[in-house]
Structure 1
Amino acid sequence: MTLLIVQATAVSPSTPDGWLPHFESVITLAIIMTAFLIAWLLNHAKPKARALGTSLSALACFGIVAWFGAVLGTGVIQNPKEFQVPMDAWKPALLWMQMIVAFCSGLFLLIVANRQLNHGSVLDLPSKNEASRYGRVSRIFHWTTAILFIFMIPTGIFASMIPENVWFRTEYSVMHKTIGFILLGLVIIRLIWNHRSTRPTLDHSLKPKERKLAHSVHILMYILMIAVPVTGYVMTSFHGYASYIFTLKLEPFLPKSDAYIIWGLFHKYLLQYLVYIILGAHVLGALKHHFIDKHADAIKRMVS
């Protein structure tokens, strides 16, 4: 087994002249800082600040639409890398689906922001969790990880589809891997915080099977948030490729092996589609409780 080597390195020597050095790391840092800023604003005491956070979330959704459209418009994935498995053919459809979801989410968030601005009240929220709701720290962790997860997935899809000879493929790979490592760190810190802070009880109006399902989805989300970056790192190492945390290059810590195929199946396909299913169930469940079942307290445990 080779030793883990960490060194500063030029991420993409093929980057065209005139571009900002390590610009992919600058963009990644901007995404991470923006995610934290939005999460902080969403849980601010003042309603105007929360409305600003929601508006920025909407702009981020529209930004995703523009970003996807720009990449799709370049035509580079019209002739993508050779498909490794039949499911690779689904990726363009997944990108279009994510564009539609992002656009609709942006419109919805603008409506929410307007409501917060006109009807919002001061949010008295402690740092630690309470019996009936999550505290400010848990909420900031929640929304920061959620936003970063939303950005991590498409960067990985683009990196896996863009042909090897396109210069910005490496930049997407760096962004994807950096966000993955940051997410892993945030999840670990979040688990430690959860252990030290009271966990709010589920809404008493939920049926026993709904409570069990909500608990199961919650656990699965944590497992996935850890498993996705870990399997990606192992897959990359077995493949003989380096990983990155911004401009730091992590050389493969495992010997090159065909085992990357098995780990790739877990990372790129099984876990990825599980994320779509579990995340979708999590969001739809919250919306159902709020709009259909009229369990207002259920969604207010994490949203105000």
Structure 2
Amino acid sequence: MKRRAVLAAVGVTGLSTAGCLRVPGRDGRSDSCADGTHFSLQRVTASHVQNEFTTYIESLPYATRTLVARALESETGAATSRSYYSLHPPKEYVVTESTDFYRVEATDLDATETTGYVYSVDLDVDESSLPNDTRIHAFTDLPAHDRESLLSAVGNPHLLHAPHYSFSAVFAYENEELRDRSMFVPETDSRHLRWNDVLLRLVFDERRTVEITSTTVSTELVAGSPEAFFGHIRRERGTVLDPLTDRQRDVITQAIDGTYTECRPYSDAFGDLRGQLTDEDGRHDALARYDGDWYFVHLSR
């Protein structure tokens, strides 16, 4: 489930009009809430939390998926790979097919610069339009490091069949032997490649300086089911809204039904409520419990 738009919070007591708290200014006029802080709550379940905070390993881009899988298979729960392409998972947690949930941390180190050879890729080339002497290479015949570069560039080979899909590939190698064995280093005008029954044309664009980095991924098992993961997130990023005044309960009711907005300076009721939802680093809690139900917290700064 997609989370609803985030909030913003600013205000003081006054008349509530069209869902916005309007506050008398020093000159006796009402201030606008156009720049107010917004607060809303969205009821959640374990499946909502899973979708919000996790990524299935099989949904990760190729290079990241490969590194995370190696980490999970290792005795230490960690693995390192070196690449031009980013190896950071898009979310903090991943989930396996057996619904085990892991926290994933990625750390970069030992960055160095080298020359990258950039190729644009044309898909669905019409083979009949090619000269008879055109050489078409099979993807499986490429050197292994060139295949890895292409897999990292596309992320998911199924995208080769997606309409209007396009991508570019960078071939960047520190090792001289790998450079010498590459089909794309040094640059060549173009190469034709058959990959997953799709005919590609790779056209050289430019040389440029790129950065290659070692990325270490470490994994930690945190839960063995969606319900257990829900409990983990509640403990880590959740808070129980209590005690509450009648005015604060009115604010929460409005936040559940829609969006509650206040303008600065905050009322005591809203300021205290905002304090319950914010940690010492100024980050608001992702989840809040109210009257026995859990909610996503949307609170703008």
Higher helix share: 1
**What TM-score comes out, normalization by structure 1 length?**
0.22
Determine which structure has the larger strand proportion and give its number: 2
Higher RCO (CA-CA < 8 Å; seq separation 6+): 2
TM-score normalised by L of structure 2: 0.22
